[in-house]
Amino acid sequence: PAAGGSGPAGLTGLSCSIGENIQLLVDRPDGTYCFRLHRDRVYYLSEKLLKLAASVPRESLVAPGTCFGKFTKSQKFRLSVTALDFLAPYAK
């Protein structure tokens, strides 16, 4: 799941890179993970961490998880280098 109105655009970019394997990023053996939008950046984090981060005010929250990429001013999604470790096993 993605939060925000522009989250699915980021997931579309990811699906071009790894195809149907995007479901494997969400449903992992060590728990359920999700994508969240925070300050024009898409973060990948576990649902446990998401619940803990909910208690922190948005203004004080720096980075709730691993940054997968960001949306530019023209609303294009740019994949970040930090996402490569997660995407490499599933790349086409």
Q: pLDDT by residue (tens digit) across 24-83? A: 888 888 888 988 888 888 899 999 998 888 888 888 888 888 998 898 899 888 888 988
Name the amino acid, one letter, at 86. F
The 8-class DSSP code of residue 84 comes to H
How far is 6 from 67, CA to CA, in rounded Å? 16
User: Do residues 50 and 35 make contact, with C-beta atoms less than 8 angstroms apart?
Assistant: no
- Sorted by where each starts, the structural domains of the chain and their CATH numbers stand as 7-90 (3.10.450.220)
Mean pLDDT rounded to a whole number for the chain: 80
CA 54 to chain centre: 16
